Structure 1
């Protein structure tokens, strides 16, 4: 199979230096640990419950269905173009160099900031696990430790990354099932009827608006499946395995996230206290009651492993994107960023950038913790923008004659799925940027949209000033030409 894979890659204009050491299960595990049900549910549960009450859980199903459409579109693309870097080379082949550069830029910034947010989010859990005070300084130090461990594992090579992803997936899934199952058995205070009762949430603004705001827990949850394609040149038979791994990431990860959320919801004794703000950290309260100090430390260990696995997957995705840019000569520092370790067969300098830049973002909170929050506000929006730039490129190419030619195709349903994925993505982006704090200054109220405009604006300025898209001779915009 390797000779066939290498031949297909040569037909696309590349010779890979990666080793194909990542099995289907390892590739799926990479996407699962990036999606990370434990990380995002634990992080966003309190604010989502306070905003929309127990019915916020339905957003996980709605968003999961929308992102599944996106995953199907991505599956068709990676099946035809199994190239390292994912979103950037896909956009390059479907539309052209300029569009690809901007797509990759937006997604790269979002990835680097997301790595910082995951590492910073792990800080309080690591502090609690170690029994130290969760101060800003300690949180930053713990976050830097997480980043250092993650880059050390990634530098060890694809095989070690694959093993770490499988270990992380197994621990997170077993931990989620064990914790959720124990909560349902011993801490269940409500029946399933509460999933249809808002308990007064949203009474001021109207429940639909409150549900959309609470639904951000779903929007923040369902990405990571694209990481399966970021490492396409490290997977045997990628044209068949990666689309399958992407789909598995959505429905297995989504099912695990929904189960964790359900178990936590039914274990919260007083929804009114959470909605009113009297109970600010229902997750810690539920876990402490259910497991006690000793059991809580075990649970914290599983949570920390989930954060670490998520950071690992994000770093791997960001480094492969950087390498893909550099291989095509499309970024400053292309020569070192495209270098390979002769021993580990990974791009070491790209990996270091994927650790150092997030570390600098984390350390920015020394000056102002608020500053970190403002920078991180772009992360999810940027990832969704990157997704939809690829979805739009696919739809444009399809309308101009492109017919996916990889082993995985949607056939006659492709156009409808592509349109559905684009409509869903646009609605999700509108929901993310919609202002919800009318009493705050306008720049805070429009913070997410403004941060997105700043990143896109800086990328466009660099694109037209430095013209990086004119470098390199790699194929571009040939998806439509292939069909003519």
Structure 2
């Protein structure tokens, strides 16, 4: 789908922000490419492919690669809807302010509450998955204690970099982006061209994962291959008030994140499958961690070590981007008085111009999850599964709110607009989201209740505790932040565009 052409002019950043009820509190030091790099390193195809490669092949065989294409198309539709929203509302926090301005404070509170916890456990899972790379690079034998120390190290390094300000966040994000390109596209192309041991026909061969039964259930079970990969693009909007010309740049950055991330993930996944010398053993589940073995066989010991260095850069950058995005969401939530300790959480460091206290929370909570995993390593996969479902719930709450406003007459007023196609794209994006819910919420069939329903239990705990706090403490009553004003704001932006300072594209 071609990207709609933006309007010729739009409001200057400070004027646009004043229309939305806020004043500039941050340095707008993030360029388009830095914003794109932030979203890309959060999405991180290297992290996603490495983390779930073995699961994908043992569950659905090589055809599981098609989920990368399917989910990329679905999430591209979601990113187009988000693009129209952030173009009208280029403010910190992403999902939370979007849901509030499109629906209301209580609705937004639940969306943000779910999203915050999903982000916290996503940070945890990325830090934990990265421990294997660190240990392999330095030939360290992993155990629970060493894994905890490495994961906490990732979190603290990311916190230290984030404390320095947006400029260093942008620099490290760009380094991480380059590492991702080398690690996924570069290595993937090399494996495809020089180390191919299997034919392309394997992507239409289930290789016996279904036994004598139907392959369809196994294919749908492998959907996590793509579903885990394609979120993170929304992080481009989480830092909107630190981006120059965000109303025009952020929508394009989100869409580019999906497109480049999808191509990168395909090159990586396809390259590993075709270069695997023992593909049937991997599909049969006889190789617990197949990617290092494939790399060592194809690149040699030295080449594999170089790849580990690149991968570590990507993991650190991913944790950094996740932590930054989570802190801006917490700041946005607290700025409107919607969280306990909101005055402390909404403080911005006058020197670095970043929300230090929110960053501390975005580091501490994942660190506590890492401690829980230290005592029970079996928690890692369940919390990762919860993160995916929680993110998709929050996303689709925004998509639903946007559709509701369209039916009430909302026509997005930012410089990025889908025009007449907006309603159609919004409806199809919601349909895709419902399809993803069904895939993610389908219980397993191991016979163990906790294993099969842990995602439902986790989401239930988050939703119930959120509702209890919402109706007992009434945080929405402490806030005077505007809500449900999409139609009014759109009208004011159109009026101001003709009367106030504008920026030509």
TM-score (norm 1): 0.97
2:344 corresponds to 1:336: yes
Matches of 1:176 and 1:372, distance apart in 2:
24
Q: Which residue of 2 aligns with 1:103?
A: 111
Deviation at 1:2, TM superposition (A): 12
Cα deviation, residue 151, structure 1: 0.7
Which position in structure 2 is the counterpart of 1:472? 479
Partner residue of 2:131?
A: 123
Cα RMSD (Å): 1.5
Gap regions ≥5 residues in structure 2: 1-8, 492-505
Note if 1:303 corresponds to 2:311. Answer: yes
Matches within 5 A, 1:32-71: 32-71=40-79
After the TM superposition, which of the residue ranges 448-457 and 114-123 deviates more from structure 2? 448-457
The equivalent position to 1:279 in structure 2, one of 282, 287, 301, is 287
Aligned mate of 1:321, from 302, 315, 329: 329
Q: Does 1:375 align with 2:392?
A: no
Question: Residues of 1 paired with 2:438 and 2:18: CA distance?
Answer: 40
The match for 1:449 is 456
Q: Equivalents in 2 of 1:34, 1:267: separation in Å?
A: 27
Offset, 1:372: 4.0
Quote the residue 1:266 is aligned against. Answer: 274
1-side partners of 2:256 and 2:31: how far apart? 14
> How does 1:67-466 map onto structure 2 within 5 Å?
67-437=75-445, 439-466=446-473
Quote the offset at 1:454 in angstroms.
1.2
Q: CA deviation at 1:67?
A: 0.3
1:152-206, Cα deviation, whole Å (9 max, x unpaired): 1111101110111111101211232221122123321122111111111223552
Task: For 1:267 and 1:382, locate their aligned partners in 2 and report how far apart those are by CA, in whole Å.
Answer: 34
Q: What is the distance in 2 between the residues matched to 1:260 and 1:229?
A: 27
Separation (CA, whole Å) in 2 of partners of 1:366 and 1:57:
32
Q: Deviations over 1:246-273 (max 9, x none)?
A: 1100001110011101101101123321
Distance 1:16 1:2 in 2: 17
- On the 8 A contact 1:2/1:236 being kept in 2, the answer is no
Mean CA deviation greater in 204-213 or 314-323:
204-213
Q: Distance in 2 between matches of 1:156 and 1:142?
A: 22
Q: 1:320 to 1:79 in 2, by over 3 A?
A: same
Q: Deviations over 1:407-442 (max 9, x none)?
A: 1111111111111111111111110121122x3222
Matched, 1:14 2:22: yes
Q: Give the number of equivalent residue pairs.
A: 483
Q: Structure 1: which 5+ residue stretches go unaligned?
A: none
* Structure-2 separation of matches of 1:261 and 1:423: 27
2:179–2:311 contact (8 Å) kept in structure 1: no
